[in-house]
A = this chain, B = another copy of it.
Amino acid sequence: MTTDVTDSFHVFDTTLRDGAQREGINLTVADKLTIARHLDDFGVGFIEGGWPGANPRDTEFFQRARQEIDFRHAQLVAFGATRRAGTRAADDPQVVALADSGAPVVTIVAKSHDRHVELALRTTLEENLAMVADTVAYLRERGCRVFVDCEHFFDGHRANPAYATEVVATAHRAGADVVVLCDTNGGMLPSQVHRVVAEVLADTGARLGIHAQDDTGCAVANTLAAVEGGATHVQCTANGYGERVGNANLFPVVAALQLKHGRTVVPPAALPEMTRISHAIAEVVNLTPSTHEPYVGVSAFAHKAGLHASAIKVDPDLYQHTDPELVGNSMRMLVSDMAGRASVELKGKELGYDLTGDRDLVGRVVARVKEQELKGYTYEAADASFELLLRDEVHASPESGGSRHGGAKRYFRVESWRAIAEERPDGSHANEATVRVWAKGERAVATGEGNGPVNALDRALRVALESVYPQLARLELVDYKVRILEGRHGTNSTTRVLISTSDGSAEWSTVGVAENVIAASWQALDDAYTYGLLKAGVEPTE
């Protein structure tokens, strides 16, 4: 295994350009700068930033990226197109803007499918070749390194292999460093990609790259098949973001190359940053990180089946394809109603409770989890609520039965609450909440206002408890998720709320389930505060 990243293999990221085509993504310049920093941390060789000159946002990004980011690994790439038909590259403002952008590397997109040349570009096959040659030569003269994206290459190679191959050869002869074969419509399968890449390499001798879309669900495999066929440049996007189904996902591609092929394509120290960076980029683009994403998903190393859980105690390596720590993830035992005692014991151990000696206790916890999950609770995503449940059972005498708070002491008891949301005749909104709680033997009544009813309840609860528990001031609600659980089989629908809370260093998640969003939010808030006080080492009294 080589241990240095060299120019002989390129990891080229196009999250900021092609990835931004994904439905639901809309990036500001600040977003793009943040993502570029994350990608540089991950050690990709090239970051395609957008199309300078085509829109003001991309132009501003290139200006600010050069000033504000001190890239450690990546080179910034400007994207554009070959010159227009019937002109010279030096006279085409779009091409000149690419050279003027200051990006050391330029990718230009070229047509390589004969029908696209004729129907979409509306020019001749010969003129298209001249456009490729002329544009590459001009950009090389201006001092840029040039990569050429052959759009619709694989469809074009099927329709007219001689012409598609000639486009590659033309770009190569004109001085393109890499010619990238693009499966733009994403319809290819790995064996086809492998065969075509090997053929084109033999026919042209050009350095080849691969750009795969995921429409057959094979973008990662197509990228790897191209590498096995001789490509030495892979174009990917973080988390596979991209148009339609998406692009080849950067993270499993890099993980496969580095961990399975034994090829160093990003700095070895960056690989364990993969999970963090994947989630951070999801945060910036404002999409929930996919729980089931290979390597980096929160479920990627999660074990649920009772069968496996008991064997994992013997030897974890028998049940995972790679060590999750290599990619910054971790093995996780799921608490669920399919789980047996072994899962609960392992989960308890993870939380610092040794349950192995107490079969009754483990049985009670398994029963409580089953009962609660039937009602719609989920402890897989709410570790803090599970720990409170576990703690309740640890402190419960078997006779105390199934009250919601089991046997453990709490910090406060709720008498009642009320939240009011209104729109006034002038169109303005008002939200107010009142809570009545008992803590350390005192009754407190407090009212809060907020930008919504849950926010008003949160503030009212803080006001009611602040003199008794000043530790609550440090807690902040950092995420809030609502899910409507459909009523099937004759039951009513219920609402599940998950809240993430931070004390500035740690973060924890709690769950509430009720017939409406306010009542469910209240339960999750109650657990969030209780857990926060528990972690702060405060002694419960109620």
Contact = CB atoms under 8 A, between A and B. Distances in A.
B421 A225 contact: no
Contact of A23 (B120, B304, B429, B450): B304
A301 B244 contact: yes
A118 to B, nearest CB: 10
A82 interface: no
A541 B84 CA distance: 52
Number of copies of chain A assembled together: 2
A162 to B, nearest CB: 20
B425 A418 contact: no
A291 B244 CA distance: 9
Contact of A187 (B220, B321, B415): B321
A146 to B, nearest CB: 21
Interface in A296-335: 297, 299-305, 308, 311, 314-315, 318-322, 334
Given A228-B191, A318-B152, A452-B515, A305 B243 contact: yes
Contact of A452 (B26, B311, B488, B516): B516
Interface residues of A, number: 113
Contacts of A217: 220-221, 249, 252, 293-294
Contacts of A308: 243
A216 interface: yes
A324 to B, nearest CB: 10
A191 B120 contact: no
Contacts of A322: 187, 215
A24 B314 CA distance: 26
Given A423-B519, A481-B484, 12 more contacts: A22-B299, A23-B291, A23-B334, A185-B320, A186-B321, A190-B221, A191-B228, A218-B221, A218-B252, A245-B297, A415-B425, A482-B482
8 closest Cβ pairs, A-B complex: A452-B516, A187-B321, A221-B221, A418-B422, A217-B252, A482-B482, A421-B518, A217-B294
22 contacts: A21-B338, A23-B291, A24-B378, A24-B380, A31-B488, A116-B318, A189-B256, A189-B260, A215-B300, A215-B321, A216-B294, A216-B321, A218-B256, A245-B293, A245-B300, A286-B488, A416-B425, A419-B453, A421-B516, A429-B515, A452-B518, A453-B517
